[in-house]
Amino acid sequence: MNGTASLSGQALVEWAASELLDPQGRQLAAAVQWWPLAGLNDDWQDPWPVAVLGSGPPLLLLHGFDSSFLEFRRLAPLLAQRHQLFIPDLFGFGFTPRPAGASYGPEAVLAHLEALVASIRQRLGAEPIDLIGASMGGAVAVELARRLGSQQLRRLLLLAPAGLTGRPMPLPPGLDRLGVAFLGRPGVRGGLCRSAFADPATAVGPAELQIASLHLRSPGWAMALARFARSGGFAGCGAPLPEQPISVLWGANDRILRPAQKRAALALLGGRLRELAACGHLPHLDQPQQVADACWL
């Protein structure tokens, strides 16, 4: 990891493609393209990362809070056998550019994805896109589907979705920066990574810890995350549910989302939710084959 502290997001992804301990992580990083997104903001000239791989019907995958596209390193090879995958970093997260004058909150995240969907459809034609959202990415997926409708986004698979219920809780100035500093501590980072897996003793090693922390070295990480926390983030995004068909997978051993959150999600989603055994908060990492089997043929 020495020598990466001053690298740009694009240079970090290039480093990851050759140096990550996880071979699937290296392969996914090597699939990243850097797209200009027309209309996002004419003042921002930097391109935006999106991993593109596979062939077949288009499928957009959205990662969770304070994560990156690398979250899908185990699921992507399975899905790429029958889908063309588009895996971006969400605005302000992962390895994206972080303009100093930008606002970082749900509207910015959604504006970036609307521009990305428009670019995908321009490249592929009018075929609707399927959508997977993990953790906070589940709430993002629901909101995006509601905005764009079924002609653009066809159906959704949510993986341990966070933010469907509740209400936004903005952190005041000062506390937002303290929270980010706390999240950046190596011991805290490692503890959160272990908590996300059903069996951290066997699932978490140096490779997982490396990926969980690499994007923190992106320029502007602390600034953007603090502003996102100040916005209140994604909450209460589930109702009303969008018109598209929705399936939900939830790990039986999820230690990130509290039981009350699961009960609230179950009340909202009903029979759409299926529980996976021996699975934590990251079904796409703990049980990637089961997630792939649950996707659309």
For residue 54, the model assigns a pLDDT of 97
Residue pair 161/264 in contact by the 8 Å Cβ criterion: no
Three-state secondary structure of 8-43? CHHHHHHHHHHHCCCHHHHHHHHCEEEECCCCCCCC
Please tell me whether the overall predicted TM-score, pTM, comes out greater than 0.85 for this model. Answer: yes
For residue 297, the model assigns a pLDDT of 47
Of 139-148, 152-161, 162-171, 193-202, which gets the smallest average pLDDT?
162-171
Terminal Cα distance for the chain, rounded: 40
pLDDT digits (tens, 9 = 90+) for 213-235: 999 999 999 999 999 999 999 99
Side chain identity, residue 48: W
For residue 126, the model assigns a pLDDT of 78
Sketch out the chain's domains with CATH numbers: 9-294 (3.40.50.1820)
For residue 43, the model assigns a pLDDT of 65
pLDDT digits (tens, 9 = 90+) for 38-84: 877 666 778 999 999 999 999 999 999 999 999 999 999 999 999 99
Q: Residue written as tokens 């100040």?
A: 230
